Amino acid sequence: MKILQVDYKKELETASKGMIMIHDPKLLIKLILRMLVSKVKIKHAGMILYEPEQNCYVLNVSKGERGFKIPAGFVQFDEKNSIIKFFTKKEFRPLRFNKNAIVTEDLNKLIWKESVVTHGNGTQELLQSMGQQMQMFNAVACVPSYYQRKLLAVLLLGEKEDGTRFDQNELDFFAALASDAAMAIRNAQLFDDLRKESQRNRDLFLRTTMVLSSAIEAKDKYTHGHTERVTKYAVAIARQMVANGSANFDEAFFESLYLAGTLHDIGKIGVPEGILNKIGNLSQEEVIVMKKHPNFAMEILQPLSELKDSLEGIKYHHERYDGKGYPDGLKGEEIPVRATIIAVADSFDAITTDRPYRKGLSKAQAIEEIRNNIGIQFSPRPAKAMIELFEAGKI
């Protein structure tokens, strides 16, 4: 009988792209567990999730064979729980075998070792308690999921249907999935909070957009500060366009431009980290994936009515004046003005920022690049405003 091999890299990329588009945390968790059960062929799976409002960890859902299902919210854990302590306390870090998961075989070895060499610090009791809980939930593996170094969730995985042990390839897949799931769940929670609160508190809405923008910087280590700088440049360009008489924008326009700049790269959350952080040139296939990030952004942000005036700046900031940009190949005055402004600001920051594969150019060199591409890559009005800002020493 031929055993079908699972392409874990492909499954991870597919799952990651799908997860970021779901804004309902409970639905997201159900889909993650359902995917684990069906793709890896395990008997059941569960997730212990940190609930900020309750300040505790809750077993939200358990999927799989009948008899193993536990009602959502039925079991709660505080920070004293043995499973939670094992994955959060520094003193237990050496016991994790430098792995991203703990399986019952490893746990039993630890319990035996602690029974022989007793440190007198309660370690053996904690491990025994952890083993009892895993047995109670019919779990043979626990996989922690962290967000900004805080334990956000723990995957509880049951036995494989064929009775074999999890190999390292499978454990690595679970760990990578847990990492992506942490960001997706946290983002879903943020969107859920945003929908509930934005109508009542505009200030809260603005702060939440800043949190969302920081999510991409947490994933793409080479864009730290990029969002803030692009937003600052974009607003300055728009102000200069008003000052030189080439545009007449009201304050509502500036607010929507600010939000567009803050969230212009949010769609990169849907791009695999291997592509975002690759040192060197992207392959043709990777470029195609990268160019999808404006559409990913639209799928993420379109439900938010407060952003309706900002969306065109977010979606079209990679369009070119000569029509050779993306995603829709808009040309000339077809390109929304917010997008043309962000395009200039984004390019200026990209040119002047150091990357792993090249040193950033000077501001003067970046301005010359913009000047040489007026009417080609850049719309004339915002490009000329950027040049004026540089010449006046304002950037």
Q: What's the CATH number where 373 sits?
A: 1.10.3210.10
Instruction: Report whether pLDDT(351) > 80.
Output: yes
Q: Quick one: 211 and 173 in the same domain?
A: no
pLDDT digits (tens, 9 = 90+) for 107-161: 888 877 766 555 556 788 888 888 888 888 888 888 888 877 888 888 888 888 8
Decide which of 155, 187, 219 is a domain's last residue: 187
Instruction: Report whether pLDDT(249) > 90.
Output: yes
Q: Quick one: 12 and 46 in the same domain?
A: yes
Q: Quick one: 156 and 60 in the same domain?
A: yes
Q: Quick one: 136 and 206 in the same domain?
A: no
Q: Is 2 part of any domain?
A: no
72 pLDDT band (50/70/90 cuts)? low
* Mean predicted confidence (pLDDT) in 353-362: 80
Q: What percent of the chain has pLDDT over 90?
A: 29
* Mean predicted confidence (pLDDT) in 192-207: 61
Decide which of 163, 187, 211 is a domain's last residue: 187
C-beta separation of 59 from 44 below 8 A: no
Q: Is 176 part of any domain?
A: yes
User: How many CA atoms are closer than 13 Å to the CA of 301, on its beta-carbon side?
Assistant: 32
* Mean predicted confidence (pLDDT) in 351-365: 85
Q: Quick one: 177 and 203 in the same domain?
A: no
pTM (whole model) above 0.85: no
* Mean predicted confidence (pLDDT) in 367-384: 96
Question: Domain of 303?
Answer: 198-391
Decide which of 157, 187, 217 is a domain's last residue: 187
Q: Is 3 part of any domain?
A: no
Q: What percent of the chain has pLDDT over 70?
A: 78
Instruction: Report whether pLDDT(24) > 80.
Output: no
Q: Quick one: 57 and 149 in the same domain?
A: yes
Q: Quick one: 247 and 130 in the same domain?
A: no
Calpha distance 100→119 (Å, rounded):
24
Q: Quick one: 317 and 377 in the same domain?
A: yes
Q: Quick one: 209 and 329 in the same domain?
A: yes
CA 139 remoteness from chain centre: 28
Q: Is 1 part of any domain?
A: no
Residues belonging to the chain: 395
Q: Quick one: 324 and 359 in the same domain?
A: yes
Q: Is 93 part of any domain?
A: yes
Q: Quick one: 254 and 337 in the same domain?
A: yes
Q: Is 273 part of any domain?
A: yes
Q: Quick one: 41 and 175 in the same domain?
A: yes
Residues of 357-391 as b/e, b for ≥16 C-beta within 10 angstroms? eeeebeeeebbebbeebbeebbbebbbbbbbbbbe
CATH (domain of 33) = 3.30.450.40
pLDDT at residue number 148: 76
* Mean predicted confidence (pLDDT) in 222-250: 90
C-beta separation of 271 from 290 below 8 A: yes
Cα diameter, the chain: 81
Q: Is 175 part of any domain?
A: yes
More confident residue, 144 or 13: 144
pLDDT at residue number 56: 86
206 pLDDT band (50/70/90 cuts)? low
pLDDT at residue number 1: 36
Count of domains observed in the chain? 2
pLDDT at residue number 244: 95
More confident residue, 63 or 273: 273
Round the CA-based radius of gyration of the chain to a whole number and report it: 25
